[in-house]
Amino acid sequence: MILIKKQGVVMAVTLLHGTGNLICDGIDVGGVEFSIARPEDGPDVTRRGKAWGNKKAVAAAMNATKTELVVPESDGLLLLDIQDLDRDGGALFTVLQPATV
């Protein structure tokens, strides 16, 4: 757990880092590395993250209407809202909710 001070408020954040597969419009487009910040408390508990390491999978995610991340540690899918590319070519995203299988 990491403590972050944002606008005078201290919040606890847990980082989930690992590898998983991106599913774009129902098709497995390949494996990526990812990091997701999960705030434990504070005014904003939105889970945000980044996926990188596979340019073809990231490009497919940028063009997909529905993108999910298979996270082996949680035995499920996370529904993602892909927002932008960072300067290194990684996809920045918000986790909308666990996807229904």
**What does the pLDDT look like over 1-57, one tens digit per residue?**
555 555 555 667 788 889 999 999 999 999 999 999 887 776 667 889 999 999 999
What are 76-80's contacts with CB under 8 Å, separation 24+? 76/101, 77/23, 77/101, 78/36
Instruction: Locate the domains of the chain by residue range.
Output: 18-32+45-98
Residue 72 and residue 56: Cα distance in Å, rounded? 21
Q: What pLDDT was estimated at residue 39?
A: 79
pTM here is 0.80
Q: Which pLDDT band, with edges at 50, 70 and 90, does 99 fall under?
A: low
